Amino acid sequence: MGVSIFRPRLAFSADRSSAEQAAARAKAERFRRLMLPHMDAALTLARYLTRDASVAEDVVQEAYLRAFRGFDAWRGEAPKAWLLAIVRNCFLSGIAATRACEELTEEPVDRESPESLLADRNEAAMVRATVERLPEPFRETLVLRELEEMSYKEIAAITRVPIGTVMSRLARARQMFAELLLPAAEKRA
């Protein structure tokens, strides 16, 4: 039994002309070819930003929907960077909505503590938990550079900050990561 790969299919309206349908199909195929290869990167970034796998999937789904809707406006430069910028914007939109909801209900959303994430003795889980403990702008920069191997220029475009800020955030993120990871590693020894 082979592994089935999810291939999104787009429905086309019957009342469109065949030329419009052909153009829509061509757009959909180009989108699949250029953007779907970056789904793992989008999911990785979303997981680190949201700290929740199921919320990350929702963020990525919303990002791909927004990307498809705005695909005609895309200038054709750095598809991965463009898509990850959309993932980040979807995450930030979700934070704003959550904060507004919390203010209305005055009940904070229960989140896992970083300490509970470190309870897993698996080394990969410990590293993941350490990255998740970093403050959001540093975590985001570290994930984009170290896990997604993006250039400083691409990270600056995604986060909308100067390259110098990217470099200083990355240096600070690496320093905080080492400070957080070393005590955890010493406890395991």
Domain holding 148: CATH number?
Answer: 1.10.10.10
Cβ atoms 184, 120 nearer than 8 A: no
Q: Which of these three, 84, 111, 138, is where a domain ends? A: 111
Tens-digit pLDDT profile for residues 137-156: 999 999 999 888 899 999 99
Q: Which residue has the higher pLDDT, 127 or 171?
A: 171
Say if residue 106 is in the same domain as residue 120.
no
Please state the domain count of the chain: 2
Q: Residue for token digits 């250029």?
A: 34
Asked whether the predicted pLDDT for residue 112 surpasses 60, the reply is: no
Say if residue 147 is in the same domain as residue 100.
no
pLDDT at 159: 93
Say if residue 98 is in the same domain as residue 121.
no
Say if residue 76 is in the same domain as residue 48.
yes
Tens-digit pLDDT profile for residues 52-95: 888 889 899 999 999 999 888 888 888 999 999 999 988 888 76
Say if residue 23 is in the same domain as residue 97.
yes
Domain hosting 140: range is 113-189
Q: How confident is the model at residue 162 (pLDDT cuts 50, 70, 90)?
A: very high
Asked whether the predicted pLDDT for residue 11 surpasses 60, the reply is: no
Asked whether the predicted pLDDT for residue 128 surpasses 70, the reply is: yes
Distance from C-alpha of 189 to C-alpha of 187, rounded to nearest angstrom:
6
Say if residue 118 is in the same domain as residue 174.
yes
pLDDT at 121: 46
Structure tokens at 43: 């999911």
H or E element that contains 38: none
Cβ atoms 43, 37 nearer than 8 A: no
pTM above the 0.75 mark? no
Say if residue 63 is in the same domain as residue 124.
no
Distance from C-alpha of 64 to C-alpha of 58, rounded to nearest angstrom:
10
Say if residue 86 is in the same domain as residue 129.
no
